[in-house]
């Protein structure tokens, strides 16, 4: 009887601590190749004096090449400065253990798209695709994220990564410091 109870306890423990299932927005395999992208996840939100900005991340795997997709959304009735990505742009991720991971931008210039909504707000949407350097996955899986620095074409911007926040945009709770710990395995080969 003890063995049966021990077996049931062991199985239930494994299911409790099992890795969460990966959620993909796209997962395609065809004759051209394979492509999968995780769902976008908000890691930063700023709302101040009628101006809002949001940063979303997603991980992608294109024919075995892992990338980090970033989408920056800015909303304001005032002037919105354009921050451009170019071939020299980089993304630096500082981990709680002191390691700094560098990601290199895809060689494609992008200054975003400016759209005006029906409430008179200007919205700038800027997207970038960054390549991981060799041996960065293990570090990202083992330590939470504390700071993200983006080197744009003409500017440098730092984002402090919170342990947890409730978004004013969608009232969901996000835990951005553990984004890579929870999701990097979704794009490992």
Decide if pLDDT at 55 tops 70: yes
Residue 32 falls within a domain, yes or no? no
Burial degree of 178 (CB within 10 A; 0-12, 13-18, 19+) = middle
Q: Among 22-26, 89-93, 133-137, 173-177, which stretch is predicted with the lowest mean pLDDT?
A: 133-137
Residue 83 structural domain: 39-183
Q: According to the model, what pLDDT value does residue 133 have?
A: 87
Residue 31 falls within a domain, yes or no? no
Instruction: Name the band, by pLDDT with cuts 50, 70 and 90, for residue 21.
Output: confident
Residue 128 falls within a domain, yes or no? yes
Average pLDDT over the chain, rounded to an integer: 88
Q: Model-level pTM?
A: 0.86
Residue 15 falls within a domain, yes or no? no
Residue 123 falls within a domain, yes or no? yes
Residue 34 falls within a domain, yes or no? no
Residue 47 falls within a domain, yes or no? yes
Domain count, the chain: 1
Instruction: Specify the 3-state DSSP secondary structure of 84.
Output: coil
Residue 178 falls within a domain, yes or no? yes
| Dihedral-angle region of residue 171 (phi above 0 means left; psi in -120 to 50 means alpha; beta otherwise) | left
Decide if pLDDT at 4 tops 70: no
């Amino acid at each position: 009887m003890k063995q049966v109870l021990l077996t049931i306890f062991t199985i239930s423990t494994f299911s409790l601590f099992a890795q969460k299932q990966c959620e993909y927005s796209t997962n395609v395999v065809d004759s051209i190749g394979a492509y999968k992208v995780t769902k976008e996840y908000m890691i930063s939100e700023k709302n101040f004096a009628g101006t809002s900005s949001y940063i979303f991340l997603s991980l992608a795997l294109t024919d075995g090449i892992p990338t980090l997709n970033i989408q920056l959304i800015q909303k304001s009735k005032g002037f919105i400065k354009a921050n451009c990505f170019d071939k020299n742009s980089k993304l630096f991720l500082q981990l709680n253990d002191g390691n700094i991971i560098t990601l290199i931008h895809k060689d494609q210039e992008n200054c975003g798209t400016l759209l005006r909504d029906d409430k008179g707000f200007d919205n700038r949407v800027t997207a970038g695709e960054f390549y991981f350097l060799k041996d960065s996955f293990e570090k990202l899986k083992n330590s939470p994220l504390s700071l993200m620095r983006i080197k744009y074409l003409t500017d440098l911007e730092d984002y402090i990564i919170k342990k947890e926040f409730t978004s004013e945009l969608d009232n969901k709770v996000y835990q951005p410091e553990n984004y890579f710990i929870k999701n990097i395995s979704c794009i490992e080969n």
